[in-house]
């Protein structure tokens, strides 16, 4: 991020906000490091994320438990000073100057501390991982444990109701036909939930379920063309997705 800013000739000191869609290590693990360079910036995050940003001990442990070696590759997480964290309220608006106002929409599902950002004037939705990820145009669900089906569906419904034009994924890039992509993810979620649940009840483990899904679902064909490193990463994340879908659905509190 810092090198991208440098390419844009923007000094880190000019940054006002780092907005975190959620605090998984690959999205927020560098916030504490970045904010040291960004002297005027505040970190905006979900209320449930606040304590973990200030003291990332549990977050780092959970990252290692869930991601194994992948967490080590990201590196340990530095804390964000308490007075630099701004809790995101639902429907909060951020005025970033003429023609650019951002709306916060709390969209739990991928994580309980997930939010999305909507630029209404331009129809641009930054959806984090609320509607899965998009790898080379292929949409893949991202439903790690603890997974709540109804909560995830209602978050996607909320994003569909915004009628965005452009959908920006945390992984990777921005695409047109946003409504189509959101609806695709919603349907894929229902389909996979049914298949994974019934295979899991038959006693299949997540590796076996992934093998069956790859035979049945051409949306996973993108795995065939990936480099070894990217494939390994995707494999870990797909297993996490299947683990989430196969576990007991936790009732929303
Ligand atoms: Zn995530």
Summarised one tens digit per residue, pLDDT across range 105-157 is: 999 999 999 999 999 999 999 999 999 999 888 899 999 988 999 999 999 99
Residue ranges with strand state E in 66-123: 85-87, 93-95, 101-106, 115-119
**Distance in Å, CA 45 to ligand 1 centroid:** 14
| Token pair of 113 as six digits | 């501390």
**Distance in Å, CA 98 to ligand 1 centroid:** 31
Beta bridge partners of 167: 125, 175
What are the C-alpha distances in Å from 110 to residues 82, 84, 152, 216? 25, 25, 7, 24
pTM value is 0.91
Ion ligand 1 — residues with CB < 5 Å = 24, 129
For residue 70, what pLDDT band results from cuts at 50, 70 and 90?
confident
**Distance in Å, CA 200 to ligand 1 centroid:** 23
The Cα–Cα gap between 152 and 239 comes to 18
**Distance in Å, CA 23 to ligand 1 centroid:** 7
pLDDT at 251: 45
């Amino acid at each position: 991020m810092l090198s991208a800013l440098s390419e844009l000739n923007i000094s880190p000191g000019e940054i006002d906000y780092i907005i975190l869609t959620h605090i998984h290590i690959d999205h927020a693990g560098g916030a504490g490091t970045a904010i040291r360079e960004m002297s005027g910036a505040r970190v905006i995050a979900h209320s449930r994320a606040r304590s973990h940003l200030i003291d990332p001990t549990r977050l780092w442990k959970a990252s290692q438990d869930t991601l194994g070696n992948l967490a080590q590759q990201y590196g340990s997480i530095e804390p964000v000073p308490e007075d630099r964290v701004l809790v995101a309220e639902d429907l909060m608006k951020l005025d970033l100057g003429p023609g650019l106002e951002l709306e916060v929409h709390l969209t739990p599902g991928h994580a309980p501390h997930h939010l999305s950002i909507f630029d209404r004037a331009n129809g641009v939705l930054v959806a984090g991982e609320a509607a899965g990820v998009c790898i080379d145009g292929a949409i893949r669900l991202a439903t790690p444990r603890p997974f709540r089906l109804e909560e995830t569906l209602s978050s996607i419904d909320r994003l569909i109701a915004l009628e965005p034009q452009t959908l920006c994924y945390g992984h990777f890039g921005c695409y047109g036909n946003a409504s189509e992509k959101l609806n695709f993810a919603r349907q894929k979620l229902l389909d996979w939930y049914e298949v994974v649940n019934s295979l899991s009840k038959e006693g299949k483990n997540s590796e076996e379920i992934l093998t069956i899904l790859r035979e049945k679902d051409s949306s996973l064909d993108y795995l065939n063309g990936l480099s070894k490193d990217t494939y390994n990463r995707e494999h870990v994340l797909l297993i996490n997705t299947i683990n989430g879908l196969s576990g007991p659905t936790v009732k929303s509190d």
